Amino acid sequence: MLQKQFKTALACIAVGVLGRLFPHIPNVTPMLGLSLYSGTNFPRWLAFFILIVTLFITDTALMLMYGYPIFSAWTLFTYSGFLLITFVGEQYSRIFSRINGLAWVVIISFGFWLWTNFGVWLSGSLYPRTISGLSFCYVTALPFLRNALVGDVVWSAVFFGLFAIASKRLKASSGGS
């Protein structure tokens, strides 16, 4: 069982890394889908491991390719947001289904956007640290919300759909055991 989970975890990391590093529309990345899928399908330690390894590999690669800082003040908000999504996935895995899955993804995506843009406002120098500055931060981030919602829905469908299909095929090829 653990060997199967480890292979699936490696596949999740590979999809997450490739999806984040290949050219893409801004904020259309697999990370929210990966976080939610991992939380609903793996033990907590393995779900967190998948997330941290994927973020570390991709952040290091982005630093080497484009000179992005590997860690900055707002990294805490991004990482904690994904870890919280993983935790939420674990807590709600029993009630997460195809029927309510889309609603969960939209709510979680919006919450992540609120949290990370709060981090941009709080830790950066782009916006004054006033209510007006926070409001302006959220307004200027609206295009990123649109992209993130599309990406989060698509990537969540990829993770949940792709791995469900793969699991069914593996069961069928091994005689249903």
* pLDDT tens digit sequence for 87-118: 998 887 776 666 678 888 999 999 999 999 99
Return the amino acid letter for 119.
G
What confidence score (pLDDT) does residue 128 get? 97
Residue range of the domain that includes 134: 2-159
CATH number of the domain encompassing residue 150: 1.10.1760
> Alpha-carbon distance 133 to 28, whole Å?
26
The pLDDT of residue 176 is 57
> 32 or 177: which carries more pLDDT confidence?
32
Let me know if residue 170 belongs to a domain.
no
In-domain check, residue 171: no
165, part of any domain: no
pTM for the whole structure? 0.88
Kindly state whether residue 173 falls inside one of the protein's structural domains.
Answer: no
- What is the rounded (10 degree) CA torsion for 94, 98, 99, 105? 80
> pLDDT tens digit string along 38-57?
999 999 999 999 999 999 99
Question: Considering the domain boundaries, does residue 176 fall inside one?
Answer: no
Residue 89, domain member (yes or no): yes
Q: Cα separation of 69 and 1, whole Å?
A: 38
Assigned domain for 175 exists: no
Cα–Cα distance between 32 and 13 in angstroms, integer? 13
Domain count across the chain: 1
Asked if the model's pLDDT at residue 132 lies above 70, the reply is yes
